[in-house]
Amino acid sequence: MEHTVDAEHHGGGTKEVIKVTIILSVLTVIELGLGFAMMGMEQGSSLKLAIKGTIVILMLAKAFYIVGYFMHLKHEVKNLIMTIVVPLLLFVWFITAFLYEGNSFKHLKNTYDPYKKELSTQKAEKKEEAKEIKIEEKKKAVE
Amino acid sequence: MSTTTAAVPEKLWSGGKSPFKVEYGKLMMWYFLMSDAFTFGAFLIAYGTTRFATNGWPNPNEVFRSYPFAGENANAPLVFVSIMTFILIISSVTMVLAVQAGQQMNKNKVVINLILTILGGIAFLSCQAWEWNHLFHEGAWWGRNPFLNADGTQSTTNFTNFFFTITGFHGFHVFSGVIINIIMLIMTLTDKFEKRGHYLMIEKAGLYWHFVDLVWVFVFTCFYLI
């Protein structure tokens, strides 16, 4: 009896697993490739933001394949799919609202707290110093 | 009264059976995972909000650029973490194979794939332990952040706090998953499932394990790539 139930929501079997594994690996490799491509780019440039957006879309694609095929949700009945997916739609609002709020908070701080703004632009020269100290410390620690 | 149910062809809601066509335990595992998704989501969204509210942020490619047995000045960003990612994907695949073997009542195949999954989980945890240890020796910990922002300005401890909290919470999930899989292995080896006539328990453990992999997809993207 168990067998008939299982056979009903059985996916494509091993073939499907191999297919999804390949898709997940390819998506990961593309993500990594984009990550490497992004390295030399200037902070906050629009191309970098576009690449970050692409990576997020690829991430969602990976999530779809894991949940849909590995966790078998795609082969379940519609009732179950809706029970799981509909509450998760709250995330859309959750993410939009909070990120917007964070961004707004940054602008408010930068506008009304000049000291904070100053702090976040200063110390650009200190980087090398700090790094040198760190490297020296490390060298000492190694010795 | 009878007219209300007449429109539904399959009559999933007419009673007598689960409208979700899954066993009770599996449905509850789905609900648990949904709640866990919200927990992780809250963590990651808090991280995102803080990042959006901060002027500078450390460059992950400068922070995560070492790998085991590398020298002090190793500069290989993304390399080690991509290995961790692939370990988790592959262990997820072996878990799927274990679940499928369970559906075919093939005990030996279940055992082999479960062992591979457990090894993958342990390998991932070892990688994470190494990385935490490495970062700790660089001076990073909760409340301590030795890394500067990407633009060279002073960074806050938000970066390390979120990193250790979220990867730690995920690592704890991986650890629990390994324990659950070991229990599944013991139950398989002692023929518990054979006697029951089904391997449905493995499917529930599998759902949990895939969820852990799923969360890593998000953590990996949010901390190492973006």
Angle between helices B200-220 and B107-137 (to 10 degrees): 30
Chain B, nearest residue to A127 by Cα: B152
For residue range B114-149, list pLDDT tens digits in order: 999 999 999 999 999 999 999 999 999 999 999 998
pLDDT at A135: 60
Tell me whether B195 touches chain A (CB under 8 Å).
no
- How far apart, in whole angstroms, are the C-alpha atoms of residue A5 and residue B56? 54
The answer to whether the CB atoms of A99 and B49 lie below 8 A apart is: yes
ipTM for this prediction: 0.89
What's the Rg (C-alpha) of chain A? 24
- Which among A13, A52, A123 has the least Cβ separation from residue B226? A52
Confirm if B58 and B159 have CB atoms less than 8 A apart. Answer: yes
List, as one string, the DSSP characters of A2-20.
HHHHHHHT--STHHHHHHH
Size of interface A-B (CB pairs under 8 A): 156
Residue in B216, B220, B222, B211 with CA at minimum distance from that of residue B95: B211
Beta strands in A44-122 (DSSP E): none
- Reduce the DSSP state of residue A139 to 3 states and report it: helix
The minimum CA-CA distance between A79 and chain B, rounded to whole Å, is: 6
What confidence category does residue B178 fall into, taking pLDDT thresholds of 50, 70 and 90? very high
- Rounded CA separation B102/B106 (Å): 6
**Model pLDDT, residue B70:** 81
| B51·A102 Cβ contact <8 A | yes
Mutate to test the interface with A, among B12, B44, B49 (most CBs of A within 10 A): B49
Q: What percent of chain B has pLDDT over 90?
A: 76
CB-closest option in B34, B61, B72 to A87 = B34
* A8 touching chain B per CB within 8 A: yes
**B30 and A83 in contact by Cβ < 8 A?**
yes
- The confidence score (pLDDT) of residue A132 equals 55
pLDDT at B151 (0 to 100): 82
Identify the CA nearest to B117 among candidates B167, B183, B169: B183
> Does B119 touch chain A if contact means CB atoms closer than 8 Å?
no
Helix B107-137 vs helix B79-103: angle between axes, to the nearest 10 degrees? 160
Q: Tell me how close the Cα of B186 comes to any Cα of chain A, in angstroms.
A: 22
The torsion angles phi and psi of B87, rounded to 5 degrees, stand at -55, -45
Q: Is B106 on the interface with A (CB under 8 A)?
A: no
Question: What's the pLDDT at A39?
Answer: 85
User: Taking a C-beta distance cutoff of 8 angstroms, is the pair B78, B84 a contact?
Assistant: no
In sequence order, what are the residues at sequence separation of 6 or more whose Cβ sits closer than 8 angstroms to the Cβ of residue B156?
B54, B145
pLDDT of B190 higher than 50: yes
A98–B48 CB contact, under 8 Å? yes
* pLDDT given at position A11: 56
pLDDT in tens, B82-110: 999 999 999 999 999 999 999 999 999 99
| Average pLDDT per consecutive 10 residues, chain A (143 residues; last block may be shorter) | 44 84 96 90 85 95 95 91 93 96 93 80 54 59 62
Q: What are phi and psi of A121, to 5 degrees?
A: -110, -20
Contact A77 B12 (CB under 8 A): yes
Nearest residue in B to A20, CA atom: B93
Query: B20, A138: Cβ pair inside 8 Å?
Result: no
Phi, psi of B141 (to 5 degrees): -165, 180
- The pLDDT value recorded for residue B17 is 81
pLDDT at A45: 85
Question: What pLDDT sits at residue A12?
Answer: 65
Q: CA angle, B94 as apex, B91 and B96 as ends, to 5°?
A: 110
User: Chain-wide mean pLDDT for chain B?
Assistant: 91
The verdict on a CB contact (< 8 Å) between A106 and B52 is yes
A96 touching chain B per CB within 8 A:
no
Scanning B37-66 for CB atoms below 8 A from A yields 37, 41, 45-46, 48-56, 61
* pLDDT band of B9, cuts 50, 70, 90: low
Q: List pLDDT tens digits, range B63-74.
A: 998 888 887 778
* B61/A70 CB distance under 8 A: no
Tokens 């009903």, residue located: A8
Closest CA to B75 of B65, B64, B67: B65
